[in-house]
């Protein structure tokens, strides 16, 4: 006599995503994780060699170049993917420049203080103060415009 076999159907987990959403592959995730490991590894190397071991900055040019290239790549890649802007800067009718400008201003002040305290920028003469103001203005413009470009690209994709 044959026994009946009962097949138990397993339910799909609640976190199952519909097929029409865009998912990332395993290799994409590995690429992102490895790139961030490289980025933060280079940052850690710079901090250890310059701040802890007191090596001159000129001797770390190879790490500095790799770190700046990785930083530029990450920033431009996220900008042109439309993922650099924060959701809190979005409004129903557009982009909230007031919040972006306030955050940009605060981060610019922090950046200028950081550069002055490290001794990269000087404020001893009027000429140095003007150079610091120009550097801060460029930093402010980039920190406000890059998220705006990202927002515009994200809205074009919709």
* Domain termination site, one of 43, 65, 81: 81
Please give the pLDDT value at position 30.
Answer: 66
C-beta of residue 140 within 8 angstroms of C-beta of residue 108 = yes
pLDDT average, residue stretch 105-134: 89
Please give the pLDDT value at position 69.
Answer: 84
Q: Are residues 51 and 92 in the same domain?
A: no
Q: Are residues 110 and 133 in the same domain?
A: yes
Report the C-alpha gap between 131 and 121 in whole angstroms. Answer: 8
Report the C-alpha gap between 148 and 71 in whole angstroms. Answer: 19
Whether 14 maps to a domain, the answer reads no
Report the C-alpha gap between 71 and 78 in whole angstroms. Answer: 11
Q: Are residues 69 and 93 in the same domain?
A: no
Please give the pLDDT value at position 130.
Answer: 93
Q: Are residues 97 and 130 in the same domain?
A: yes
- What are the start-end ranges of the H helices in the chain? 26-46, 61-81, 97-118, 126-157
pTM: 0.58
Looking at the 3D structure of the chain, how many domains does it have?
2
Neighbours of 97 (CB within 10 A): 13
Tell me phi and psi for residue 94, to 5 degrees: 155, -150
**pLDDT above 60: residue 121:** yes
Segments forming the whole domain that contains residue 125 = 86-158
Q: Are residues 103 and 153 in the same domain?
A: yes
Whether 95 maps to a domain, the answer reads yes
């Amino acid at each position: 006599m044959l026994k009946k076999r009962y097949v138990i159907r397993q339910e799909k987990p609640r976190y199952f995503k519909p097929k029409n959403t865009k998912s990332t592959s395993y290799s994409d995730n590995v690429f992102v994780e490895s790139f961030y490991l490289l980025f933060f590894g280079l940052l850690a190397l710079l901090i250890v060699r310059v701040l802890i071991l007191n090596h001159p900055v000129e001797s770390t040019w190879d790490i500095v170049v790799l770190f700046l290239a990785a930083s530029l790549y990450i920033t431009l890649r996220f900008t042109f993917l439309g993922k650099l802007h924060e959701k809190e800067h979005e409004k129903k009718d557009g982009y909230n420049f007031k919040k972006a400008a306030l955050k940009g201003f605060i981060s610019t002040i922090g950046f200028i203080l950081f550069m002055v305290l490290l001794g990269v920028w000087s404020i001893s003469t009027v000429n140095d103060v003007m150079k610091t103001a120009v550097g801060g203005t460029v930093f402010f413009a980039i920190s406000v415009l890059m998220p705006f470009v990202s927002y515009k690209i994200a809205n074009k994709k919709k």
